[in-house]
C-alpha cells in the first residue's frame, strides 16, 4: 500500500550561509513547477535549533515527506529521522541531497541552479515511491556467554558485569587463567582478577564444559552447554575468547630437537624452578608471523636470566619487534645488562654434540662473517597455532576462520573483534595473539560494544532487512549459503527460507543471487529502482 504524498517539504539547511552565496531559494522554487511543495531555509547550527526549525516546518505545512538539502545534510540524518518518528511519520519519506555537489560539479551560477532543481525534483519523485517501512521491537537478553577463562575472557566478563549485565563464563579446562598463568610476574595480577571474578555475583563460572549447540540470533541466542552438567541458556551475545596454542616449530628444527633445545614456555618453568644453565642461546623468528609476543617473551626471559643468574645470553632474531608498550625500554635494559643480540637472514644452523648446542649463523651486518656460538641450552621462540576445536566452534557459530585457522574478524576497521555474525565477538588470542595490554584493551572495548548493544534490553528495528517471498521460494538454499552474516535460516514448517532481521545487514547479496527472484530489499525493490531510473532519465532523454 503506497500513500501518495500530497505535499513535499523542501528544507534547505544552510548554517554557515555558504549555499546562499550560490543559490537562492526563491529561484529554486520558481523552477519547481509541477511539484506541490512548501519550502524553508534554516540557518540554525545543529542540535536543538535545527530540530525545532524542522519540527515547526513539518507541523505548519502538515507534511508527511521532505527533501533535506544542504552541504552535508546526511550528518544530521538522525535528527530529522527522529523528528519524523516522533510525529508518527515515516522516517523513510525523507530524502537527503547534497547541494554542495551541484555547486562543486557545476561552476556557473545558472548551471548550479539547474542542477540543484534537478536534484530536488528527483529526490521528491523518489520519496513518492517510498512506502512506509515496518518496525519491529525485539527484546534483548541481558545475559552474555563468554567462552574461555583466559585473561581475555576474564576481563571481558568483569567489564560486562561492571556494566550491569549477567555473564556465564564457560571454561573448557579445570582452571582459569589460560596462557598467562605460566608467566612469572603476572601471577599476582591474575590472582586478583580471578578473585574478583569469583566474587562478582553477576558472573556464573562453568568449568570443564564446552559449547555444544547454538541457535537463535543476536539478542536471543539459545546455547547448549555440555560438560559435567548439561544446560540450555538464552543469551544476548556470545564472546569467543578461547585463546591459542603456543607450539615449538619442530619442523623448522629438524632432527635437532632434543632435551638441549626447548620452547619458551618450557623455559619459563625452568626459570621459576631456578634450573638455568650458564650459557643460553635464544632463537626466535624461525617462522614468520604477524606477532610480537615471541619477541616480548624473548626480551623478558633474556633479561631475567641475565639479572638473576648472570648466564651468558645470546639472542638471535630477524627483527626485534618492540612495537608494544615499554618494548624499546625492555630491549635497552636487556642490552645494558649484557645480553647480546644478533640479527640473521638465513636460518642458523643448529648442531647438538655432547650436550652442547652449536649454533652457527651469518651475521647480517658487514662483513657477513660466520659466527658460531656454543650454548648449554637453546630456547626457541614459539609460534602461535589455532586450537583443535576451532573449526567445529566456527561451524557452530556460523562464523569464519582465516587462512591460518584463527577466527576471522568481520572488518578490522570498525571493531576488530566483531565477527561477521551480529552478536558474536572474538577477543584475545583466538583472533590474534597479542600482548597482555592489548588483549585487556580489546576485552574492555568489546565488552563496551556489547553493553551499548544489550543494556537497553530492547531494540526497535526498522525492517530494512531482506524479505523473502515465501510463495516463490523453492528452498534451493542459495541465499543460506551466500549470506555472509549467517542471517538466513530455513523454516521447515512453512517450507521457505527466512531472514532474521536483527542479523541481516541489508547487503543485498541474497537478493542478487536468488535464482527465482524471491528476495528483495524493502528500500530497493525492483519497482523502486526502476522508478528512480526512469525519473533520472526523464530530464535528460525527454
* Backbone dihedral angles phi then psi of residue 261, each to the nearest 5 degrees: -120, 115
Give 265 or 343: the residue with its C-beta nearer to another protein.
343
Q: What is the DSSP string of 259-277?
A: TTEEEHHHHHHHHHTT---
Give 30 or 452: the residue with its C-beta nearer to another protein.
452
By CB under 8 A, is residue 402 in contact with another protein? yes
By CB under 8 A, is residue 447 in contact with another protein? yes
Query: Mask of contacts with another protein, 480-519, x by CB under 8 A?
Result: ----------------------------------------
By CB under 8 A, is residue 225 in contact with another protein? no
**Among 402, 462, 453, 472, residue whose Cα is nearest residue 432:** 402
Q: Which of residues 341-380 bind another protein (CB under 8 A)?
A: 343, 364-368
**Among 374, 331, 383, residue whose Cα is nearest residue 351:** 374
By CB under 8 A, is residue 264 in contact with another protein? no
The two beta strands, 488-491 and 496-499, are antiparallel
Q: Which of residues 226-245 bind another protein (CB under 8 A)?
A: none
**Among 231, 239, 232, 236, residue whose Cα is nearest residue 221:** 236
Give 247 or 414: the residue with its C-beta nearer to another protein.
414
H or E element that contains 85: helix 77-86
> Which of these ranges, 26-34, 58-66, 73-81, 502-510, lies near another protein under the rule CB under 8 A?
73-81
Give 358 or 409: the residue with its C-beta nearer to another protein.
409
H or E element that contains 25: helix 25-31
Give 108 or 199: the residue with its C-beta nearer to another protein.
199
**Crossing angle, helix 77-86 and helix 48-60, to 10 degrees?**
40
By CB under 8 A, is residue 184 in contact with another protein? no
How far, in Å, are 39, 64, 510 from residue 60 at the CA level? 11, 11, 43
Q: What is the DSSP string of 338-402?
A: T-EEEE-SSPPEEEEETTEEEEEEE-SSTT--EEEEEESEEEEPPEEE--TTHHHHHHHHT--B-
**CB-side neighbour CA atoms (13 Å) of 187:** 6
Residues 6 or more apart whose CB falls under 8 angstroms from that of 124 comprise 8, 10, 35, 37, 65, 67, 95
Q: Cell numbers of 316, please?
A: 638471535
The count of other CB atoms within 10 Å of the CB of residue 231 is 14
Yes or no: say if 157 and 451 are a contact pair by the CB < 8 Å rule: no
H or E element that contains 148: none
**Among 479, 249, 488, 289, residue whose Cα is nearest residue 378:** 249
By CB under 8 A, is residue 405 in contact with another protein? no
Q: State in angstroms the smallest separation of the CB of 46 from another protein.
A: 7
Give 489 or 509: the residue with its C-beta nearer to another protein.
509
Counted residue by residue, the chain has a size of: 542
By CB under 8 A, is residue 51 in contact with another protein? yes
Q: State in angstroms the smallest separation of the CB of 434 from another protein.
A: 9
**Among 144, 209, 382, residue whose Cα is nearest residue 286:** 382
Give 408 or 525: the residue with its C-beta nearer to another protein.
408
Yes or no: say if 176 and 494 are a contact pair by the CB < 8 Å rule: no
By CB under 8 A, is residue 77 in contact with another protein? yes
**CB-side neighbour CA atoms (13 Å) of 498:** 12
By CB under 8 A, is residue 448 in contact with another protein? yes
How far is it, in rounded angstroms, from Cα 372 to Cα 277? 19
Q: State in angstroms the smallest separation of the CB of 371 from another protein.
A: 16
Sign, Cα dihedral of 300, 305, 310, 312? negative
> Which of these ranges, 16-24, 102-110, 211-219, 408-416, lies near another protein under the rule CB under 8 A?
408-416
By CB under 8 A, is residue 144 in contact with another protein? no
Give 341 or 524: the residue with its C-beta nearer to another protein.
341
Q: Which of residues 276-315 bind another protein (CB under 8 A)?
A: 288-292
Identified binder of another protein from the candidate list 102, 440, 502, 504, rule CB under 8 A: 440
The angle at the Cα of 453, spanning 449 to 459, to the nearest 5 degrees, equals: 165
Q: State in angstroms the smallest separation of the CB of 336 from another protein.
A: 11
By CB under 8 A, is residue 322 in contact with another protein? yes
Q: State in angstroms the smallest separation of the CB of 322 from another protein.
A: 5
Site residue total, another protein (CB under 8 A):
62
Give 62 or 86: the residue with its C-beta nearer to another protein.
86
> Which of these ranges, 44-52, 116-124, 302-310, 383-391, lies near another protein under the rule CB under 8 A?
44-52
Q: State in angstroms the smallest separation of the CB of 274 from another protein.
A: 27
Q: State in angstroms the smallest separation of the CB of 379 from another protein.
A: 20
Q: State in angstroms the smallest separation of the CB of 428 from another protein.
A: 13
Give 154 or 211: the residue with its C-beta nearer to another protein.
154
Q: State in angstroms the smallest separation of the CB of 326 from another protein.
A: 8
Query: Mask of contacts with another protein, 81-110, x by CB under 8 A?
Result: -x----------------------------
Chain residues in the site for another protein (CB under 8 A): 46-47, 51, 74-79, 82, 159, 162-164, 189, 288-292, 319-325, 327-329, 332, 343, 364-368, 402, 406, 409, 412-417, 431-432, 436-438, 440-442, 444-445, 447-449, 451-452, 455
Amino acid at each position: 500500500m503506497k500513500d501518495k504524498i500530497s505535499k513535499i517539504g523542501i528544507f534547505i539547511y544552510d548554517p554557515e550561509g555558504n549555499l546562499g552565496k550560490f543559490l537562492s531559494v526563491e529561484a529554486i522554487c520558481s523552477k519547481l513547477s509541477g511539484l506541490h511543495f512548501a519550502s524553508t531555509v534554516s540557518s540554525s547550527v545543529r542540535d536543538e535549533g535545527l530540530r525545532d526549525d524542522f519540527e515547526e516546518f513539518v507541523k505548519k505545512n502538515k507534511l508527511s515527506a521532505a527533501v533535506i538539502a544542504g552541504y552535508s545534510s546526511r550528518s544530521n540524518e538522525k535528527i530529522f529521522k527522529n523528528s519524523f518518528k516522533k510525529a508518527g511519520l515515516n522516517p523513510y519519506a525523507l530524502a537527503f541531497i547534497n547541494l554542495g555537489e551541484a555547486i562543486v560539479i557545476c561552476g556557473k551560477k545558472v548551471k548550479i541552479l539547474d542542477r540543484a532543481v534537478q536534484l530536488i525534483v528527483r529526490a521528491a519523485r523518489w520519496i513518492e515511491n517510498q512506502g512506509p517501512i515496518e518496525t519491529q521491537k525485539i527484546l534483548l537478553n541481558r545475559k552474555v556467554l563468554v567462552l574461555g577463562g583466559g585473561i581475555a575472557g576474564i576481563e571481558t566478563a568483569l567489564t560486562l558485569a561492571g556494566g550491569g549485565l549477567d555473564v556465564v563464563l564457560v571454561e573448557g579446562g579445570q582452571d582459569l587463567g589460560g596462557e598467562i598463568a605460566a608467566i612469572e610476574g603476572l601471577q599476582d595480577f591474575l590472582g586478583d582478577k580471578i578473585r574478583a571474578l569469583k566474587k562478582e555475583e553477576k558472573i556464573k563460572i562453568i568449568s570443564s564444559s564446552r559449547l555444544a549447540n547454538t541457535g537463535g540470533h543476536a539478542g536471543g541466542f539459545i546455547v547448549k552447554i555440555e560438560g559435567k552438567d548439561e544446560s540450555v541458556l538464552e543469551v544476548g551475545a556470545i564472546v569467543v575468547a578461547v585463546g591459542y596454542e603456543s607450539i615449538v616449530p619442530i619442523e623448522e628444527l629438524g632432527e635437532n630437537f632434543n632435551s638441549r633445545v626447548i620452547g619458551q614456555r618450557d623455559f619459563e618453568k625452568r626459570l621459576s624452578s631456578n634450573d638455568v644453565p650458564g650459557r643460553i642461546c635464544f632463537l626466535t623468528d624461525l617462522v614468520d608471523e604477524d606477532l610480537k609476543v615471541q619477541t616480548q617473551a624473548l626480551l623478558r626471559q633474556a633479561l631475567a636470566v641475565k639479572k638473576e643468574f648472570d648466564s651468558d645470553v645470546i639472542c638471535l632474531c630477524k627483527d626485534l619487534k618492540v612495537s608494544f608498550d615499554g618494548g624499546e625500554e625492555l630491549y635497552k635494559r636487556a642490552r645494558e645488562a649484557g645480553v647480546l643480540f644478533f640479527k640473521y637472514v638465513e636460518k642458523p644452523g643448529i648442531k647438538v654434540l655432547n650436550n652442547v648446542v652449536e649454533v652457527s649463523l651469518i651475521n647480517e651486518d658487514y662483513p657477513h662473517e660466520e659466527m658460531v656460538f656454543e650454548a648449554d641450552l637453546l630456547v626457541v621462540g614459539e609460534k602461535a597455532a589455532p586450537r583443535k576445536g576451532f573449526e567445529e566452534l566456527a561451524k557452530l557459530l556460523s562464523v569464519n576462520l582465516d587462512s591460518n585457522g584463527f577466527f576471522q574478524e568481520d572488518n578490522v576497521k570498525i571493531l576488530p573483534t566483531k565477527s561477521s555474525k551480529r552478536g558474536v565477538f572474538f577477543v584475545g588470542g583466538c583472533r590474534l595473539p597479542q600482548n597482555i595490554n592489548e588483549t585487556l584493551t580489546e576485552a574492555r572495548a568489546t565488552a563496551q560494544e556489547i553493553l551499548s548493544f544489550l543494556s537497553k534490553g530492547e531494540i526497535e528495528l526498522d525492517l530494512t532487512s531482506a524479505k523473502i517471498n515465501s510463495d516463490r521460494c523453492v528452498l534451493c538454499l542459495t541465499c543460506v549459503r551466500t549470506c555472509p552474516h549467517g542471517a538466513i535460516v530455513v523454516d521447515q514448517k512453512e517450507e521457505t527460507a527466512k531472514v532474521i532481521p536483527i542479523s541481516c545487514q541489508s547487503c543485498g547479496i541474497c537478493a542478487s543471487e536468488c535464482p527465482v527472484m524471491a528476495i528483495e530489499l524493502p528500500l530497493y525493490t525492483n519497482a523502486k529502482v526502476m522508478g528512480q531510473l526512469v525519473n533520472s532519465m526523464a530530464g535528460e532523454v525527454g
